[in-house]
Structure 1
């Protein structure tokens, strides 16, 4: 797909995705354990709802919808950056171990620190970033070779190995913890959306406001890095510096998202691939589309999960995994 065609298709695709997202938001507002009639949604937003309708929509459903949309967008953008930097179509923050590192950071903080309402929601993303960043540095160090640089396949294999090892670490650090806290960690690992209040939205939003523009500004650099290092160096790109900035951006996006949504994988894998198929491989064209697809996918998964099993529902991470795992196997077989 050439450049003009991909850019010509982009507005149409974006418009369709916005419509799909709005329809899913309406469905998510009305459906659930305590349902709200679809005919009452607009009157409630206009201030004519009952106390129950106001509480369900504004205190329960809306913050959860905002969290899932923002987190899905962050995971999709993180996956797009990782795939460009590593030149690996299989890269995803969940698959390569970054989410597992964030999980260890969250678990260590949650199990060892007192829960103070004023600061807890803001410190959780920081602890997730610390764990994810340390994990990413170790994965990069093991996957990098002085002779051949960063090998894409080795990165995935090392990432999977670290993910399994960190799962063992998680078992060790939770083995002697309070049962209620262990239950929370178990739900977090399953990808159960837990940060469903407005303070978690305000805690997540600043990370995305800062990191989204950085990623979009680096689109040209990502285009060059996605080709190969020689092309990037020949074009005047300081590869080591730019790769470091982009990796930190990807890690921060993933860590901030999973800190409030739990260990969700495959969104960062699927969304960029679908976006590339729709508008082409140029980052300027497919990144905005990928972001919208990621937000819609996670919102759809959460909406389905909340309504297939009453009363607690099915974790969004499990719903995404049911779709994403076969897709990952398909991509892996296609590369062999």
Structure 2
């Protein structure tokens, strides 16, 4: 398929993805523990609802929908970058330990830092970023060889090891903490969408407004990095600098998402892989598709999960894992 046909196909897929997001958001607004009939959605959106309807929609449902959508986009963006930089379709910030690094930093900060609750909105993404960055740096060091460069298979194996070790460390840390704080961390580990509030949305939006355009700007470099180190060096690309900048971008996207949604894996694995299957491996084509698919996948997982069991539902992270786990195993078998 030539480039112009691929671009037309990409635009059609983007429109379909936007339609799926809109449809899922409408369904998510109308169903839940406190029902809000669909024929009342438009009047309530335009300010003609009762106090209860306004509260359910604007204080409970809409913030959760928006934060879930934005977080799924950020996780898909992070996975897209990591898969291109490492040349490994199994790379995902949740699987290779970056999310766990953010989780340990959040756990330590939440349990021991003397800070006002209201300040958590803006501080948690930075704390998560620092934890994820340190973890990514360690994973990179252990996966890098002077003779062979970055080993994609070794990176996944080292990352999985870090993820398990950091998850164990998190459990050790919270084992002696106060019950009220342990409840929050437990929800974070399970991938519960805890940050369903408008201030957290405003704290997350600036990260995406910068990171998505920046990644698309770097898409040609990502295309080169996805080929081989020899190709990158041959065209004059400053390999290590570009790789570091892009990994830093992936870490920032992942950390900003998990700081408000908790430890959610597999979105960054599935969304880019599905997007590549639909429009091919060019980053400028598949990244926009992956971003929208990531938002939709997390939104539909959360919508289904919170309505399966009343009143709290099943955390989105668990719902995603039920799908992502078998998908990860399928990719592993396919790569053999």
TM category (shorter chain) comes to over 0.9
Q: Which residue of 2 aligns with 1:129?
A: 129
Q: Which residue of 1 aligns with 2:110?
A: 110
Paired residue secondary structure (2:103): helix
Q: Which residue of 1 aligns with 2:72?
A: 72
1: CA distance between counterparts of 2:175 and 2:53? 41
Q: Return the offset for 1:115.
A: 4.5
2: CA distance between counterparts of 1:321 and 1:258? 15
Q: Which residue of 2 aligns with 1:39?
A: 39
5+ residue gaps in structure 2? none
Q: Return the offset for 1:110.
A: 0.4
Q: Which residue of 2 aligns with 1:149?
A: 149
Q: Which residue of 2 aligns with 1:227?
A: 227
Q: Which residue of 2 aligns with 1:4?
A: 4
1: CA distance between counterparts of 2:212 and 2:268? 15
Q: Which residue of 2 aligns with 1:265?
A: 265
- Spell out, residue by residue over 1:277-334, the C-alpha distance to the aligned partner (whole angstroms, 9 max, x if none): 1111100111000000000000000000110011110000000000000000000011
Q: Return the offset for 1:8.
A: 1.9
RMSD (Å) for aligned C-alpha atoms:
0.9
Counterparts of 1:164-179 in structure 2 under 5 Å? 164-179=164-179
Counterparts of 1:191-230 in structure 2 under 5 Å? 191-230=191-230
Contact 1:2–1:280 (CA under 8 A) maintained in structure 2:
no
Q: Return the offset for 1:194.
A: 0.1
5+ residue gaps in structure 1? none
Runs of 4+ displaced beyond 6 Å: none
Paired residue secondary structure (1:227): coil
1: CA distance between counterparts of 2:326 and 2:117? 40
1: CA distance between counterparts of 2:20 and 2:104? 35
Paired residue secondary structure (1:95): coil
Q: Which residue of 2 aligns with 1:120?
A: 120
Structure 2-normalised TM-score?
A: 0.99
Q: Return the offset for 1:2.
A: 4.0
Q: Return the offset for 1:174.
A: 0.8
1: CA distance between counterparts of 2:296 and 2:92? 17
2: CA distance between counterparts of 1:334 and 1:294? 22
Counterparts of 1:216-295 in structure 2 under 5 Å? 216-295=216-295
Contact 1:263–1:317 (CA under 8 A) maintained in structure 2:
yes
